[in-house]
Amino acid sequence: MERVVIGVAKTTRQSYNGKEDMLDRHANGIKEENMLVSAKEMLDKAVAGHYAVAHINLNNLEWTKAVLEIAQELKAPVILGVSEGANKYMGGYKTVAAMVKAMDESLGITVPVALHLDHGTYEGAKGCIEAGYTSVMFDGSHFDLEENLEKTTEIVKLAHKQGISVEAEVGTIGEDKNGVVGMGEIADPEECKRLADLGIDFLAAGIGNIHGVYPANWQGLNFEALQKIKEKIGDLPLVLHGGTGIPKEMIQKAISLGVAKINVNTECQIAFAKATRAYIEAGKDQQGKGFDPRKLLAPGAQAIKDTVKEKMEMFGCIGKAE
């Protein structure tokens, strides 16, 4: 029986009609036993089904385990996002890919799971393709349009050869930098169309969304811009970065206009920190072996699960992997 090497952590598994067929199955989101998948099919299904898949950023092993377990419990597809900073913190692209693949296998996860580079540089995207990620984002929004198009084209070519999905971005997302909140840019619909025509699998477009905690004077999402973008790109899945703190009614309207992937990070971090602080302030770390990291970090891990469940309910993706 022929065996081939593919996917995350370069695991071996049975071939169906050779490597090409396996890569097709991988790219189409067909989950074989103990295998991560591309994000393409799960997001295409989300667009057709009028819901969004949760992209949850990982920060360590506890995050990974918590998100995988709650996704499996809720029978929801999930995208595990990792920034370049988090990759570095956890030991590098290969370390993260190996950890996620091994945990997916060890926990017996059957729902579709994609391992996705979040806001990747050109070199970072290439590094994750080589390391075994199943999805990458190349964020060329800080380049002029022509350079963004050129570099995105190269990443699409490299990724699609391996059955890896690609997210691109146009119109920068707002961000809180040292207490100063930038509101970002509203993406130009024509520029969105040019990126979409490159064969990317999903698109992040700035529509007034912000990374981090939204300020009191936030004006909300620009649905007029979102509608115009949707008209230009058709059924290509759209990505909403900065999903923390956006009101439910805005989330659901965004989904109705083609948003199929919503990124959440800050909200999980806040929930984890709050639960861990409460444990320590209650003196539980000084009771018996309460200092054991397995006990010390357990409330935070549960808080992550609770937050992810709340978001998945809001996004409408629970039960979509059944």
**Domain locations along the chain:** 3-265
8-state DSSP, 207: B
Mean pLDDT of the 258-276 span: 95
Topology given in CATH for the domain delimited by 3-265: TIM Barrel (3.20.20)
Tell me which of 160-169, 186-195, 276-285 is least confident. 186-195
Contact partners, residue 142, CB within 8 Å, separation at least 6: 172
* pTM of the predicted protein model: 0.86
Coil vs helix vs strand at 239: strand
Mean pLDDT of the chain: 86
Q: Which of 44, 104, 118, 139 is catalytic?
A: 118
Residue 139 falls in the annotated catalytic set: no
Write b or e for each residue in 102-123: b if 16 or more Cβ atoms lie within 10 A of its Cβ, otherwise e.
Answer: ebbbeeebebbbbbbbbbbebe
Of the candidates 81, 68, 84, 82, the one whose C-alpha atom is nearest the C-alpha of residue 31 is 68
Q: Work out the pLDDT band at 28, boundaries 50, 70, 90.
A: low
The reported pLDDT for the residue numbered 321 is: 95
Q: Work out the pLDDT band at 15, boundaries 50, 70, 90.
A: very low
Determine how many CB atoms are found less than 10 A away from the CB of residue 19.
Answer: 14
Q: Is the pLDDT score of 7 beyond 60?
A: no
Strands 53-57 and 11-14: what pairing? unpaired
The reported pLDDT for the residue numbered 246 is: 80
Coil vs helix vs strand at 139: coil
Contact partners, residue 40, CB within 8 Å, separation at least 6: 27, 28, 29, 135, 165, 201, 202
Q: Is the pLDDT score of 58 beyond 50?
A: yes
Torsions phi, psi of 28, nearest 5?
-85, 10
